[in-house]
Structure 1
Amino acid sequence: MRAAHLAALTTLPSCVWRLLLAAGFSMGYQPEWMAANASSAADRVYLVALSLVTEGLALLTLGLVRPWGERLPSWVPAIGGWRVRPLAAVVPASIGAVALVLLWSLNPLLYTDLFHDPLEPQGGWQLLMATAYLPLVLWGPLLGLVTWAYYRRRCTDR
């Protein structure tokens, strides 16, 4: 239960960071970067949508420990009340966990020049950004742990 809640919370700091960018706060980025990446309406919609989708996906982890992960709520149109087949949750969650581990474990290697770009946040802003994105490294392993527990609970001991 705790791992599921932690997994859902790992995305929150980076989502807040992006939402503040979408709201027009520079977050330490230089004006040239802001003009190219966060000034148009499309840029802002993208930042908000990315944050909402990210947090929504992270919140799905809770389905692996809550009753709605075993039986769909009655308010869901057409399929409400149906039993969730365990592999219908385990397979996408496992793929997601592996993808997240690969994405966030390789991330430092892909962005080694991040802190050398003069348009990127520097100093305290750099530290704040790293602090906001660092919890994402835990998202994949936590999702994997919760998925394994769900699998063991739903698919074994029959």
Structure 2
Amino acid sequence: MGFRIKNLFSFASPPGSTGRAPQRWAKAACWTAFLSPLPSACWRIAMLAGADTGFAEAALYRSNASGVVYVLCLEALQVGAAALSLGLCYGWGEKVPRWVPRVGGKAIHRRLATTVGGAGALCLYVIVGAYTVRIVGVSTGAWDGWNPMTGMNPGQRAALIAAYTPAIAWPIALTAGLVGYWRRRAPE
């Protein structure tokens, strides 16, 4: 027992085992959490590269360095965060990789991973939920507001919807992956 709050952020002897195989459902959830935001990232990169996505504000992002940097940083953040989801079902999510100075090879406390992952999932629920509600509300005419589909033809709208719809699964899949990680890493 003897667990103290200061141990939450230390790498020293966390409770729970490492090395147990992830549950099949948890691994599927982690991979879903990784893959679900990638289509929207590809859509934005295509828009930035000059593809005719129909996005009315594409020129704004392409025409200046700050717009390009914004989109590229957004993609790096999104893809990096999605990749971290895989740590919930692979060994590098249980132990710090050996190449990391000073802490390499030490076990990661399960509370640290689930606290950080839970905060990320909460942010995703807010961001993805708010964006989804806003776009659906504006698209259906329930209220007025900005809509990224303004001026798009049906094919471009379909491409946008196909790119962004999988992202709705991201917070749900991440939550399932976190539950699997927590259970797998629980003390025996």
Where do residues 123-134 of structure 1 align in structure 2 (5 Å cutoff)? 123-134=154-165
Moved more, 43-52 or 142-151: 43-52
Determine helix, strand or coil for the equivalent of 2:153: coil
- Deviation of the 1:16 alpha carbon: 0.5
Gap regions ≥5 residues in structure 1: none
- Deviation of the 1:100 alpha carbon: 1.3
Determine helix, strand or coil for the equivalent of 2:70: helix
- Deviation of the 1:24 alpha carbon: 2.2
Distance in 1 between residues matched to 2:101 and 2:149, nearest whole Å: 50
- Deviation of the 1:135 alpha carbon: 0.6
Larger gyration radius, structure 1 or structure 2 = 2
Over the aligned positions, Cα root-mean-square deviation in angstroms equals: 1.7
1:11 to 37, 53, 57: 37
2:55 to 26, 29, 32: 29
Verify: 1:108 aligned to 2:139, yes or no. no
The Cα offsets for residues 35-71 of structure 1, whole Å up to 9 and x where unpaired, read as 3333212211211221121011001011111011111
Q: Choose between structure 1 and 2: higher helix proportion.
A: 1
- Deviation of the 1:73 alpha carbon: 0.9
- Deviation of the 1:25 alpha carbon: 2.2
Aligned match of 1:61: 85
1:97 to 111, 121, 124: 121
The Cα offsets for residues 128-149 of structure 1, whole Å up to 9 and x where unpaired, read as 0011000110000000000001
Q: TM-score under structure 2 normalisation?
A: 0.75
Aligned match of 1:149: 180
Paired residue type of 1:93? G
Counterparts in 2 of 1:143 and 1:116: CA distance versus 1, 3 Å: closer
- Deviation of the 1:116 alpha carbon: 6.5
Aligned match of 1:70: 94
Distance in 1 between residues matched to 2:101 and 2:36, nearest whole Å: 30
- Deviation of the 1:105 alpha carbon: 2.3
Q: Relative CO higher for 1 or 2, CA cutoff 8 Å, sep ≥ 6?
A: 2
Aligned match of 2:66: 42
* Maintained 8 Å contact 1:23/1:44: no
Distance in 2 between residues matched to 1:54 and 1:24, nearest whole Å: 21
Paired residue type of 1:11? P
Determine helix, strand or coil for the equivalent of 1:78: coil
Verify: 1:117 aligned to 2:150, yes or no. yes
Determine helix, strand or coil for the equivalent of 1:134: helix
Gap regions ≥5 residues in structure 2: 1-26, 139-146
Distance in 1 between residues matched to 2:129 and 2:103, nearest whole Å: 37
* Maintained 8 Å contact 1:115/1:122: no
